[in-house]
């Protein structure tokens, strides 16, 4: 295999274990494919500062980041993406052949995990709650997978991060599922419904971002997912629902009900960005954005 192109600052990424104890509250992590590198930076800064919320719910890349947050592994999410984004076993045609999806989860949970293990034992010991959001292809509804209602969290994370159109549905306990962003892109509503008084939301787009609605998107969803009409309907409506979520989140933020960390600069990378230096800069943007808000966040959580 030819030498991989990695982020030039990969050797200087933070590492170690999260400091501090567990704080009551729910961390809500938006997805966004490789825009999730921003979230990696935010969470590393929070772990270094000892801000470890009792519950974490993540969608797609948010779920992939979130599992490393609840196990307290500083830098692990960043090491994956800033070292291996250009590895064909992780992203691309080779990954698709082995996984029937654009992301190589067999590499992620197999070979990579052997050299930089995910600490499932830490999750068992610390008692923190982790929820992976996925879309049920049969019902078009959202599934919130966690210990107690799911026998394999790895499969739940894989389903949560399996992008529509470029991934086959993933069976989670026999249920075909895809990217949770198809039905619930920013699941702060779940946190509020479950009674969390302190809710921290990490965005991967600036607060004022809204999606452009394209009618042909709904028609394309119906054509591709004829086998799953309820899912096709939900997928066709997801951008409108996302814009409504953003409007609601903005109101809750103004009211002081939720705390939002979002990019302080426009995010210009693509969902499957290959430029390792751009990804590295996005990671550091998240890290610095979080550090600047530590005092305000501590005051909110108090």
Active-site annotation, residues: 60, 179
d(CA 302, CA 289): 20
Instruction: Name the 3-class secondary structure at 270.
Output: coil
d(CA 40, CA 66): 9
d(CA 263, CA 32): 13
DSSP code at position 2: P
d(CA 165, CA 112): 26
The DSSP H or E segment spanning 98 is: helix 93-99
User: Which residues is 134 bridged to in the sheet?
Assistant: 143, 179
Residue whose C-alpha is closest to residue 37's, from 4, 9, 3: 9
| Number of Cβ within a 10 Å radius of residue 10 | 16
3-state secondary structure 247-261: HHHHHHHHHCCEEEE
The tally of CA atoms less than 13 A away on the side-chain side of residue 242 is 25
d(CA 175, CA 108): 22
- Alpha carbon dihedral 29, 33, 38, 41, in 10-degree steps, equals 80
In the chain, the N- to C-terminal Cα span, in Å, equals 51
């Amino acid at each position: 295999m030819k030498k991989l192109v990695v982020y030039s600052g990969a050797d200087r990424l933070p590492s170690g274990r999260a400091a501090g104890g567990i704080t009551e509250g729910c961390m809500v992590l938006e997805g966004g494919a490789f825009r999730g590198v921003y979230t990696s930076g935010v969470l590393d800064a929070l772990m270094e500062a000892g801000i470890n919320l009792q519950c974490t719910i993540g969608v797609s890349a948010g779920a992939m980041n979130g599992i490393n947050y609840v196990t307290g592994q500083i830098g692990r999410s960043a090491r994956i993406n800033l070292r291996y984004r250009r590895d064909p076993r992780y992203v691309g045609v080779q990954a698709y052949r082995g996984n029937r999806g654009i992301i190589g989860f067999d590499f992620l949970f197999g070979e990579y995990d052997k050299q930089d293990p995910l600490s499932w034992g830490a999750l068992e010991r610390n008692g923190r709650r982790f929820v992976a959001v996925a879309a049920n292809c049969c019902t078009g509804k959202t599934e919130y997978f966690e210990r107690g209602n799911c026998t394999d969290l790895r499969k739940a994370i894989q389903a949560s991060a399996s992008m529509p159109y470029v991934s086959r549905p993933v069976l989670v306990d026999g249920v075909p599922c895809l990217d949770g962003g198809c039905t619930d892109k920013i699941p702060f509503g779940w946190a509020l419904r479950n009674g969390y008084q302190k809710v921290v939301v990490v965005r991967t787009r600036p607060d004022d971002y809204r999606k452009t609605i394209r009618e042909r998107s709904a028609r394309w969803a119906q054509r591709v997912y004829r086998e799953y009409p309820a899912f096709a309907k939900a997928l066709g409506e997801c951008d409108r629902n996302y814009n409504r979520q953003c409007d609601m989140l903005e109101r809750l933020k103004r009211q002081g009900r939720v705390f939002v960390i979002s990019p302080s600069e426009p995010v210009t990378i693509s969902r499957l960005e290959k430029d390792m230096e751009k990804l590295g800069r996005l990671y550091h943007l998240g890290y610095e954005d979080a550090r600047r808000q530590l005092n305000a966040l501590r005051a909110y959580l108090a």
